[in-house]
Amino acid sequence: MLVTPPYLMFLGDVGDQLAAKTAHGIVDWRPEWCLGQRRLPGCKADLGITEMSIAEAAAKGARTLIVGVANAGGVLPDHWTAEIVAAIEAGMDVASGLHTRLGSKPEIREAAARHGRQLLDVRHSDQRFDTGKGTKRPGLRLLTVGTDCSVGKKYTALALERGMRARGMDADFRATGQTGVFISGRGVAIDAVVADFISGAVEWICPAAAETHWDLVEGQGSLFHPSFAGVSLGLLHGAQPDAFVVCHEPTRTTMRGVKHPLPGIDDVIDLTIRCGSLTNPGIRPVGIAINTEKLGEDEARALIAETAGRHKLPATDPIRFGVESIIDRVLAEFPQSANGKAR
């Protein structure tokens, strides 16, 4: 699936910044691909890039309209259809990471056929997957897991890829969500895979590799989240991780979208080891990634230090303070990976 930049990022009228996390991720990691944003009245998200109409973006060379939102159920609201059709009529392809297929809207489907434009549903793969086998395969794998959804699992994996490569290690980010696929150009949106094949799809994403190679697998949801735990468990079994990093947002009291309380970091570590041991008995934690965006710097540093001391693991905010401490722990636990050669 080829999604052609440059992009016009479409946010619709989403109600908060987190609902536009797909667009934020692309802007953060591929800013050179993003020409501008298109928002509808009432939109509460802002990417901080140039506001553009459909016509303005087309005149500046936009090739693809990205529906850059992530909402409950992955639905495409009917009142967004007119904007998407306008982009098609202006000469753009349309790419979406929602569960609802673009072509399920007759007006969008007919406009694309009429103008010869592509409708790219990144969340839906045409690849056929086997069921997972759980057989130990060579290579090293690290999975990011979370106390909740939308706490920084993707950003942590991407930061680790960047940091490991900078230190000469052989490491690749493996996308398991729509935003990650947009950023990396490959991967599978695991939450759109039929449940029986989730672990098999993850085995396909991160297959056998050199003994010194790291696959950095993007986590999804949380083993404790009543809505998404099934996806998280299949991902854990398929990734067969040697190591994991726990990702946490400290200002939340309940998990996103439900009334269940946030689990403790120690609870996540214990359950991840117990469940992950099914396919890799050697699974172990190597760090804690804390999203401190809502904290002042002194408060953030104090929390990170306290968390590291309490759990006897390196802790950091990967975006704010870097991932060097976690990479140091990885190399201490898996010294053979220091001999990998970055590609």
Other residues' Cβ atoms within 10 Å of the Cβ of residue 91:
14
Q: What is the mean pLDDT of the chain?
A: 94
> Which pLDDT belongs to residue 187?
85
Task: Supply 93's token pair.
Answer: 């392809």
Q: Which ranges of 117-184 would DSSP assign to H, the alpha helix?
A: 153-166, 178-184
Nearby residues of 324 by Cβ (< 8 Å), 6 or more positions away = 163, 316
> Which pLDDT belongs to residue 126?
76
Domains in the chain with CATH codes: 7-121 (3.40.50.720), 140-339 (3.40.50.300)
59-74 pLDDT, tens digit each: 999 999 999 998 878 8
pLDDT mean values, one per 10 residues, the chain (343 residues): 87 93 91 96 96 97 94 90 98 93 97 96 86 96 97 96 96 92 85 94 96 97 96 98 98 94 97 98 98 97 98 98 98 89 57
SS3 state of residue 172:
strand
β-bridge mates for residue 246, sequence order? 145, 288
173-221 pLDDT, tens digit each: 999 988 888 888 788 989 889 999 999 999 999 999 999 999 999 999 9
> Which pLDDT belongs to residue 63?
96
DSSP codes of every residue in 13-38? T-SSSGGGHHHHHHHHH-GGGEEEEE
**Which pTM was predicted?**
0.84
Other residues' Cβ atoms within 10 Å of the Cβ of residue 315:
24
